[in-house]
Amino acid sequence: MKVLVTGHKGYIGTVLTPLLTAAGHQVYGLDSDLYRRCTFGELPAEVPETIKDVRDVELDDVAGFDAVLHLAGLSNDPLGDLDPDLTYAINHRASVRLAELCKAAGVQRFVFSSSCSNYGAGGDGLLDEQGDLNPVTAYGKSKVLVEQDVAPMASADFTPVFLRNATAYGLSPRIRFDLVLNNLTAWAHCTGKVHLKSDGSAWRPLVHIEDISRAFLAVMTAPREIVHARAFNVGVPGENFRIKEIAKAVKDTVAGSELRFAEGASADARNYRVDCTLLPRVVPDFCPQWSVQKGAAELLGGYRATGVTLDEFEGPRYKRVDHIRMLIDEGVIDDRLRHIQR
């Protein structure tokens, strides 16, 4: 298949793109490359690419593709809260427009990187894809809006699929340290402390970015009738944890580390347990291969190999919201996150 990956230079995109290439697909990328200074290790082999903001995509950019895998956008809650209207402009309105362009261009399959953040304040019950959506952040709300606006576009010639990814973790050439397992493991490696900023009571489903990438590949190539206009939770069945349980897994992985809570740590409003059994049941080609314990060990090995320091992972290089603020202060981008021409 001829495939366009938006956000191919991001945290998941730099893992997904080589997986698609290895599977024999003809892969192209589209990305504004905001995080070019955030590289952690070696970038994957280059693919033909267009460096462009997703808000500026035109019909010609998507013409001729069999599938578009849409990952581009503001990637987490703190970044989304920086300017909620901007979050809706990029994550919601630009995504809906992209889907419209894809349908007009004859793209047959549109796979959207949604999120389990859609469930937000979901409580302690196990939620499947029919569960109530209660997003509590601009980021989560933007994902819900895209699903609601794109699903009605489904037709005989256009198949949207919505992947509600669990909280991601894992090594990547464009790593993020604002994700719970990545962050806790880095704290433990650099300081000997597993540093919790909440009281640890909230539930989260977790999934490795390689398994997220496998989900994209599986639904992209699955028979149309089993994925058409459907949403799927993407995670490993049974891999729901309270944050304090994730912290314990890190403590057990990083020898000699100890658990500590930040001063004033309180409960997190985002609290959800997710049933991830539908996707592997409906699309048997999706076979997740990672666990939290295995992921913590991978992260620790990567951190040791690169010699990452506390100042690096807590500083603006790898923390998305602080990196954006730094680029604005330096005059590299404006407050609408557009590159300033010089």
**pLDDT tens per residue, range 215-241:** 999 999 999 999 999 999 999 999 999
Residue 173's pLDDT is: 96
- Counting other chains too, the contacts that 184-188 makes at CB distance below 8 Å and 24 or more residues apart are 184/246, 184/247, 184/250, 185/250, 185/253, 185/254, 185/296, 185/299, 185/300, 185/303, 186/299, 186/303, 186/308, 186/310, 186/313, 187/310, 188/250, 188/251, 188/253, 188/254, 188/257, 188/300
pLDDT at 76 over 90: no
Residue 125's pLDDT is: 85
**What percent of the chain stands above pLDDT 70?**
98
Residue 271's pLDDT band, with cuts at 50, 70 and 90, is confident
Q: Superfamily assignment of 2-175+206-240+269-290 in CATH? A: NAD(P)-binding Rossmann-like Domain (3.40.50.720)
Q: What is the dihedral of CA 259, 248, 173, 213, to 10 degrees?
A: -150
Where do the H-state alpha helices sit in 51-128? 59-62, 77-82, 84-87, 94-105
> Using an 8 Å Cβ cutoff, are 234 and 211 in contact?
yes
Higher per-residue pLDDT: 137 or 253: 253
Q: How far is CA 180 from CA 60, 72, 127, 162, 300, in A?
A: 39, 21, 21, 23, 14
pLDDT at 80 over 70: no
Across the range 319-328, mean pLDDT stands at 90
pLDDT at 122 over 80: no
Residue 341's pLDDT band, with cuts at 50, 70 and 90, is confident
pLDDT at 69 over 70: yes
Strands (DSSP E) found in 118-200: 121-127, 159-165, 167-169, 193-198
Residue 270's pLDDT is: 75
pLDDT at 266 over 80: no
Mean pLDDT of the chain: 94
